[in-house]
Structure 1
Amino acid sequence: MQTVAAALTMVRDDAFFLKAWLRHYGEVLGRENCYVVNHGRGAEVEQLAEGCNIIGIPGDPHPNFDMKRWRMLNNFVQGLRSYYTHVIVGDVDELVVVDPSTGLNLLDYLAKTKGKRVLTPLGLEVIHRPELEPEPITDRILGPRRHLRLAPHYSKPCVISNGCKIARGGHYTSFDELITPDELYLFHLKFCDFDNYVRVMDARNAVTQEIGKSIKETAIGRHWFPVARGDDRALFDGFAQLKMQEGFDVDWVRKRMHRSFTPRGDTGFFQFNRPEYDAQYVLPERFNGLF
């Protein structure tokens, strides 16, 4: 059994994203090194994640859901560090990928990467352009979906080999150095398929309605609430308005991250600027089929 890297996530009924997460990390790290927190002890999650380390927890809705979740994930990460050099932690719709041009998969790459640090992959959001990509996703996502937008919000310090604290949402850590390897990306999949987006948002809206609290009264992301949802079709149609870029040179984004890296007030965490970019790219074919 390898002890280079483990992957950790928490999921509740997100079968579409869990399948992609399992394909990616299960294949490259081995399912025995994948840790799935089954929020609500869902039978489908248990079935899909067979062969992984499944941790069942109660699923009662709670206004401080995100705070409780990241407190638990923080502790799990530090526990797993006793047995693995690197621990990859994040939401089930976030996947860390090594550029295939290196000739290495994620496990090989991390085996060559020293520990006692935190890696921050560059965030890229897979966006569905239905007018250009009408075919449904049946197995792999990359290939049927090739369009991306820059997502600084998802450039997360998520590959952990240091005894640091991770902030709620996974966006900041207490590690005082920003390490952004050129070959490392974090793909966010929330917008990779219109039909699945609608299903997921319906489910999340139902959770917040069951809790019965306002956005200000909870520690749940604003995007879970119906009031912040807007028109789904208009959102996806808007992706066409992002300026198409030539090639796939995104290193300038990493340079801007480094220039703005600073303590996050007196919180003990560190941050970099996360502006909105009016840009989209077509993913090079070498990434097709990675997940």
Structure 2
Amino acid sequence: MQSVAAAVTMVRDDAFFLKAWVGYYGRLLGRENCYVVNHGRGEEMTRLAEGCNIIGIPGDPHANFDMKRWRLLNNLVAGLRSYYNHVIVGDVDELVALDPAEGVSLLDWLADKPLRRVLTPLGLEVIHRIDLEAEALGDTILGPRRHLRLAPHYSKPCVVSLGTKIARGGHFTQASKLFTPDPLYLFHLKYCDFATYTETMNRRNQVTEEVGVGVKEAAIGRHWFAEARGEDRAVFEAFAGLEMQEGFDLDWVRKRMQRSWKPRGDTGFWQFDRPDYDLQYRLPERFFGLF
């Protein structure tokens, strides 16, 4: 039984993403080291997470959903740190991955890393180029989907071996030192499949309708609201307009993160600049089949 790393997430009715999350972290860490908060105690979520540690909680709609969610996740991470060297925490559509060029698994790589740190992987969004990728997704995402959008917003401080507080949304912590290991990435899967995106957004729009308040009154991500959604096909067609980059050298992004590192006002949290880059990359083949 390993105590190097655990993974924690919360899910509500997102079967596609939970299947990918459990499949990936279950193989890497062992399902007994995966912790799934089942918001609403969905039966399908329970089935998909079989073998993981499942924490069922009530699923009543609430205007402060994100605030409550991250309060729970913060406390779970703090508790699990007493038993694991590292705790990976994040949304169910986010997967932390090590560049296969390292030649070791993420678990073995973490076993060799110093403690009392928060690691911030570089954020990349897996995008479905509907003009180029007609193949429907099966059990594998990377390979059938091989285009990435640079996404600093998803460079999250999510591999924790230090006692710290994580901000709502998981974008900031109170750790004052920034560690951005070269081979570590966070893949955000929200846009990895057009059909899945539409189904997911329909469900999330329904949740915010049930809450009954607007974007400004709710502690829920703006992207859950119908008014912020836009037209789905136009969102995906726009990916073709992102400037294609040659190669896969992203050191320049990590250097900018380090140079812009500073306190986030007087909140106690720390941040780096997160500009929008209209850039895309082709995923190197060594990543294909990783999840």
Q: TM-score range by the shorter chain?
A: over 0.9
SS at match of 1:227: helix
| CA displacement 1:182-207 (0-9 Å, x = unmatched) | 01000000000000000000000000
Residue 128 of structure 1 aligns with which residue?
128
C-alpha distance in structure 2 between counterparts of 1:288 and 1:30, whole Å? 21
Which residue of structure 1 aligns with residue 201 of structure 2? 201
Q: Secondary structure at the match of 1:168?
A: coil
The alpha-carbon deviation at position 278 of structure 1 amounts to: 1.3
CA deviation string 1:47-81 (max 9, x = no partner): 01000000000000000000000000000000000
Q: How many Å separate the matches in 1 of 2:107 and 2:228?
A: 38
Alignment of 1:39-54 (within 5 A): 39-54=39-54
Residues 131 and 240 in structure 2, CA contact (< 8 A), matched pair in contact too: no
CA deviation profile, 1:73-118 (whole Å, cap 9, x unmatched): 0000000000000000000000000000000111011011111110
Q: Which residue of 2 aligns with 1:183?
A: 183
List per-residue Cα deviations over 1:235-276 (Å, max 9, x = no partner): 100000000000101110000000000000000000000000
Q: State the Cα RMSD in Å.
A: 0.4
Mapped pair 1:167 → 2:167: yes
Pairing of 1:101-116 with structure 2 (within 5 A) = 101-116=101-116
Q: What are the Cα deviations for residues 24-45 of structure 1, in whole angstroms up to 9, with x where unaligned?
A: 1000000000000000000001
Q: Deviations over 1:131-168 (max 9, x none)?
A: 11100001110000000010000000000000000000
The residue that corresponds to 2:228 in the other structure is: 228
Distance 1:165 1:210 in 2: 30
Q: Please give the residue correspondences for 1:1-291 in structure 2 after superposition, counting only pairs within 5 Å.
A: 1-291=1-291
| SS of residue paired to 2:169 | helix
Q: For 2:98 and 2:24, how far apart are their aligned partners in 1? A: 11
Distance 2:144 2:259 in 1: 35
The structural deviation recorded for 1:284 is: 0.1
| Deviation at residue 128 of structure 1 after TM alignment | 0.2
The amino acid across from 1:245 in the alignment is Q
Secondary structure in structure 2 of the residue aligned to 1:179:
coil
User: Which ranges of structure 2 fall in alignment gaps of 5 or more residues?
Assistant: none
SS in 2 for 1:290: coil
Matched AA of 1:157 = P
1:123, CA displacement in angstroms?
Answer: 0.2
For residues 134 and 147 of structure 2, what CA distance do their matches in structure 1 show? 13
In the alignment, residue 26 of structure 1 is paired with which amino acid? G
* Aligned mates of 2:50, 2:149 — CA distance in 1: 33
Which TM-score applies when normalising by structure 1?
A: 1.00
Counterpart CA distance in 1 for 2:81 and 2:195 is 38
Between Structure 1 and Structure 2, how many residues are aligned?
Answer: 291
Instruction: Report the TM-score when normalising by structure 2.
Output: 1.00
Q: Percent identity?
A: 73
